[in-house]
Structure 1
Amino acid sequence: MELKQIIIAYKAGDTQSKSWAETYARALEKRGAHVLMGPSGVKDNPYPVFLSSVSSQIDLALVLGGDGSALAAARHLAPEGALILAVNVGGHLGFLTEPFELFQDTEAVIDRLESDVYAIQRRMMLQAQVLEGGRIKPEPMSDRFFCLNEMSVKPASIDRMPTSILEMEVDGEVVDQFQGDGLLVATPTGSTCYTASANGPIVHPGMEAMVVTPICPLSLSSRPLVLPPGSVVNVWPLGEQEPLTKLWTDGALGTTIWPGQRVSVSMSKHLAKFIILREDHSFYTTLREKLWWAGTRVHYDNEHRNGNH
């Protein structure tokens, strides 16, 4: 990899993350790279400035923080085709990040990047847009939003906890109506996040699929659905007199859905591309360690069960 144009995003408000960002910026600049650096957080979005400031292709996005930082990077950088190295510096679970231990030898990490000693994991993303009008030529009423985890359609209000009635179409056919707290349309990557909390299925990130999961539905017959990646999911809020329902992308507010409008969700043509430094990278190890499955509680030295092998 040529390291000419680099962007570095660190977790806003985290001193350790900022310190390591500065360390890497200095090391990369010594090797002739042009580096743009800034904080990423709930109230800090550096990516529009990054993208408007670069005149050439982004060779690498170094993202220091937790899963939230990695998700924000993917939403903004996947359409640019940028490679993302996300490292768990100041984060919590770290489903999408490389461990901090592999990151501390600055020169060795940069040598690996320049020598292409890493793997690239490509993850499916979704796109969504608010539409209005007929089914043949609907009029777009919002920008196109991207997500790596999930699109959620759910109401929000300052002074109460509203529920909603949402009708779901798949490829033009009404499938179900959900009364409850909302609806999630997730990627396989997002199946271990909000979708898992809503009792949806866990889907291997190597698959291409869309997972639709109702959030706390009032009907016990409402079940999660796993759909093929070419599906188009339309979600219609029903019976609303005021614009309470919102579109959320990876937990960040996208836009308001006004009465009479719908959200159309489909697979994005863009893939999030993450650099993997771990030689023992495994989705199943991640599940055991991050979700505290049995493999993290019971250890056998010979990696077998109780047998003497």
Structure 2
Amino acid sequence: MQLKQVIIAHKAGDSLSRRWAEICAQQLEDRGCRILMGPSGPKDNPYPVFLASAVAPIDLAIVLGGDGTVLTAARHLAAEGIPILAVNVGGNLGFLTESFESFKDSEQVWDRLLEDRYAVQRRMMLQAGLYEGNRSQIERVSDRFLALNEMCIKPASADRSITSILEMEIDGEVVDQYQGDGLIIATPTGSTGYTISANGPIVHDGMKAITVTPICPMSLSSRPIVLPPGSVVSVWALGDYELNTKLWMDSVLATAIWPGQRVDIQMADCDAKFIILRENYSYYQTLREKLQWAGARIQYTNNHRN
């Protein structure tokens, strides 16, 4: 990998993340690298400026923060094909990040990148758009929205909890109508995020699949479903007379959904690319550690393994 121009995004409002961003910037500048650096957070989005001001191809994005900071980077950089080195600096759970301990010797990290001693993990993303009109005269009426974890369709109101009625089609065929708090359409990466909180399935992040999980449905027959990656999930908001239904991407508001509009969600035409530094990377170890499965607390001796 070349390190001629690099993005460094740090978690907004976190002093540790900012300090390490400055350390990394100095080290890379000493190696002749041009740095684009800035904070990333709910009120700070540096990526449009980064991409517009790049004078040459961007070789790498270093993202210092937690999973939320990484999700923002993936939404903006996946379509550009820019690999992401995500490090848990100031984050919490850290499902998507390298550990801070493995990054402390950052000079060694730059050597490994320059010598191509790393792996690249590609993760499936979702894309969504709003459409209106009948089948013969369909028209897209929104931008394309991207998500690494999930697209969520649910109402939002400042003063009350609203029950939504959503009709779902898969590849043009009506599957079900859901009455409840909303629907989560997720990638395998997102299956351990919002989806798992709604009792959805855990899907290995090396797969390509789409999961649909109802949020607190009012019918016991409304169950999660796992779909092939080529499926197109279409959702209509019904009975929304107060215009409360919204489309959310990775828990960030994408757009409002108006009566007569539907949301089409499908596998994106780009993947998020993550740099993996760990030589013994294990998806199952990540699950055990991050989800604190019983095996991490209750230990029995398995003599049959020997």
TM-score past 0.5 threshold: yes
Once residues 117 and 24 of structure 2 are traced to their aligned partners in structure 1, the CA distance between those partners, rounded to angstroms, is: 18
Shift of 1:168: 0.1
Residue equivalent to 1:192 = 192
Shift of 1:135: 2.1
Once residues 244 and 56 of structure 1 are traced to their aligned partners in structure 2, the CA distance between those partners, rounded to angstroms, is: 43
Residue equivalent to 1:104 = 104
Residue equivalent to 2:268 = 268
Once residues 220 and 287 of structure 2 are traced to their aligned partners in structure 1, the CA distance between those partners, rounded to angstroms, is: 28
Letter in 2 for 1:250: D
Residue equivalent to 1:234 = 234
| 1:31-50 paired onto structure 2 within 5 Å | 31-50=31-50
Letter in 2 for 1:70: V
Residue equivalent to 1:24 = 24
Change (3 A) 1:165 1:84: same
With normalisation by structure 1, the TM-score equals: 0.97
Task: Please report the RMSD computed on the Cα atoms of aligned residues, expressed in angstroms.
Answer: 1.2
Once residues 73 and 200 of structure 1 are traced to their aligned partners in structure 2, the CA distance between those partners, rounded to angstroms, is: 25
SS of residue paired to 1:130: strand
Q: Which moved more, 1:42-51 or 1:145-154?
A: 42-51
Shift of 1:295: 2.9
Once residues 104 and 173 of structure 1 are traced to their aligned partners in structure 2, the CA distance between those partners, rounded to angstroms, is: 52
Residue equivalent to 1:284 = 284
Change (3 A) 1:31 1:137: farther
Unpaired segments ≥5 residues, structure 2: none
Residue equivalent to 1:207 = 207
1:119-168: CA deviations, max 9, x gaps? Answer: 11000000000111112342112110000000000000111111100000
Q: Identity percentage over the alignment? A: 68
Residue equivalent to 2:258 = 258
Shift of 1:308: 8.9
Change (3 A) 1:11 1:308: closer
Once residues 197 and 305 of structure 2 are traced to their aligned partners in structure 1, the CA distance between those partners, rounded to angstroms, is: 39
Change (3 A) 1:119 1:259: same
Residue equivalent to 1:164 = 164
| 1:115-126 paired onto structure 2 within 5 Å | 115-126=115-126
Once residues 295 and 136 of structure 1 are traced to their aligned partners in structure 2, the CA distance between those partners, rounded to angstroms, is: 55
Residue equivalent to 2:60 = 60
Once residues 66 and 138 of structure 1 are traced to their aligned partners in structure 2, the CA distance between those partners, rounded to angstroms, is: 39
Change (3 A) 1:33 1:196: same
Letter in 2 for 1:234: S
Residue equivalent to 1:88 = 88
Q: Which moved more, 1:291-300 or 1:90-99?
A: 291-300
Unpaired segments ≥5 residues, structure 1: none
Are 1:305 and 2:302 an aligned pair? yes
Change (3 A) 1:179 1:108: same
Give the conservation status (yes or no) of the 8 Å contact 1:211–1:226: yes
Letter in 1 for 2:24: Y
SS of residue paired to 2:28: helix
Give the conservation status (yes or no) of the 8 Å contact 1:86–1:274: yes
Change (3 A) 1:36 1:221: same
Once residues 256 and 167 of structure 1 are traced to their aligned partners in structure 2, the CA distance between those partners, rounded to angstroms, is: 17
Shift of 1:307: 5.5
Once residues 191 and 307 of structure 1 are traced to their aligned partners in structure 2, the CA distance between those partners, rounded to angstroms, is: 32
SS of residue paired to 2:166: strand
Shift of 1:57: 1.5
Q: Which moved more, 1:63-72 or 1:289-298?
A: 289-298
Q: Which moved more, 1:264-273 or 1:48-57?
A: 48-57
